[in-house]
Amino acid sequence: MKNIFRNIARLILLSGVLSLGCVRYQAMPLGVGSAGWTGPSSAEIVQAASRIHHPMLKAVRVNLSDGLNPDEAALVAVALNPGLQVERDKAGIAVSQLAAAGLLPDPVVSLDVASPGGGNRTGKVGIYDFGLSFDISALLNRRFRRQAAAETVKSVNLTVAWREWQVAMAARFQCRKVAITEKQAVLAARYAVFCETLQKKVDELMAVGLMTRSDEADFEAETVSAKRESSGMSRAEKAARLALNQLLGVAPDTLLVVSEPEAHPAVPSDFVLSKAVAGRRPDLLSLWSAVLSGDANYRAAVWNQFPRLELGLIAGRDTDGVRTFGWSFSGAVPIFNRNRGAIAVSKATRKLLLDEYHARLFRVRAEVSKILPALKKLGKEQANVALALKREKIYFRVVQRGVRKGISDPVALLGTAKRVHFLSVADLKLQMQIETLVSALETETGIWPERKGQEEESR
């Protein structure tokens, strides 16, 4: 009897030693409340952006002293955008949940102890039965479970990369939008000042009888309209800056100087872009990894037709002191269930993922085919407007000199100024439309236009 209790004590001691390798609870680090958050400083912005090494983003050195350019805005957004941090945390949870896919089940230990009682117990000893078993069915599909988990982890990470790419491209476009909106605000403010100055000149001419009240009313109306436009563009500029700060993850009142964006390089052909899409867009790569994971899950479900196969060792002693040793095997016979439900679901899921991949690839290529002709058309329109604006500016200077010499009247000058302002606004609006399409093209194809040769990359 003492030996039995001694063995039980050893088993408890062994369990205690093995438990030393278990994970222990760690207290959650509680940070300071965000009530007094003022946003990162310029040095912190540069430092955070320097740690980003995204395979799809252009590697640039962030320098805020010469203004924030679109490439720098993309890196800063990926580094500091709070929404992206949440997406990364969600991905971390998903990856942690998948870590158990390759783990083997723990062996099962059983111990039964009993002592004889009643009757003639002379020469009788206590009995025990000891068993050690292991579920070997987990070995049959372990390879496919690990493969499915690996592809799922890849899919999760690519989903985060796709979200990062979207935010980066949105910040890149918003940076260009701020620069254009700033130009529009300056243009509207200058035109308002010009109209106000010209109206004072008209008032002087009206006082000496060289202008009529009807002419003065036209100038007043144009001045009011110009001031209203200037006020509206000032609000639009503030809204664009707030949207940029939100994407960058900086405080709303942060005033970042935006540099003049560079001209866009030549856009690749429709054939090159469509060919590169499948190997560049993270969401497509993520879906493809999901397809491979679904295929591995299907194969694992097929092997799970043998739901439980256990192999074990047994040892025991009866009341006469006779010891026995042997092995045991147990398993479910696949007659009725055969895991047919899980097999059907996994097979249908694999088909769904594959069809979704093809559907999304088709939609992306259709979008690219729509963007390219529209971009080409807008380019021609902007060239025509730029030519007309150049001619109108020359004529405006001629009329302006004529007014100074007394040859032309302010009415002609106002008409010419209105045409110059209209064409200037039209040119900036077309530029904004082009930037919108270029940003959509970059996002849809996953291609950074400034990187030469990247359109040749494939999965």
Task: Report how far residue 191's alpha carbon sits from residue 416's, in angstroms, rounded to the nearest whole number.
Answer: 12
Q: Residue 455's pLDDT is what?
A: 40
Q: How far apart are CA 456 and CA 134, in angstroms?
A: 51
pLDDT value of residue 184: 94
Alpha helices in 102-212 (DSSP H): 137-140, 142-207
> Taking the model in full, what pTM does it have?
0.75
DSSP strand pairing (309-317 vs 127-135): antiparallel
CATH number at residue 69: 1.20.1600.10
Alpha-carbon span 127 to 111, nearest angstrom? 11
- Is residue 377 included in any domain, yes or no? yes
Residue 37 lies in a domain: no
Q: What pLDDT is recorded for position 279?
A: 79
Q: Return the pLDDT at 450.
A: 52
Q: Could you tell me if residue 201 is inside a domain?
A: yes
Query: What does the pLDDT read at residue 236?
Result: 95
Residue 403: inside a domain:
yes
Residue 402 domain boundaries? 48-80+154-292+362-459
Residue 412 lies in a domain: yes
Q: How far apart are CA 277 and CA 270, in angstroms?
A: 11
The CA distances from residue 143 to 146, 148, 310, in Å, are 5, 9, 19
Beta bridge partners of 133: 108, 312
Binning pLDDT at 50, 70 and 90, where does residue 456 land? very low
Tens-place pLDDT, residues 60-116: 777 787 788 888 888 888 888 888 888 888 888 877 767 777 677 888 888 888 888
* Mean of pLDDT values over 178-192: 93
For position 18, what pLDDT does the model report?
55
User: Which sign does the torsion angle of CA 396, 400, 401, 406 carry?
Assistant: positive
User: How many domains is the chain built from?
Assistant: 1
Separation of alpha carbons 59 and 309, rounded Å: 54
pLDDT tens for each residue of 277-306: 777 788 888 889 999 989 988 888 888 777
Q: Which residue has the higher pLDDT, 429 or 25?
A: 429
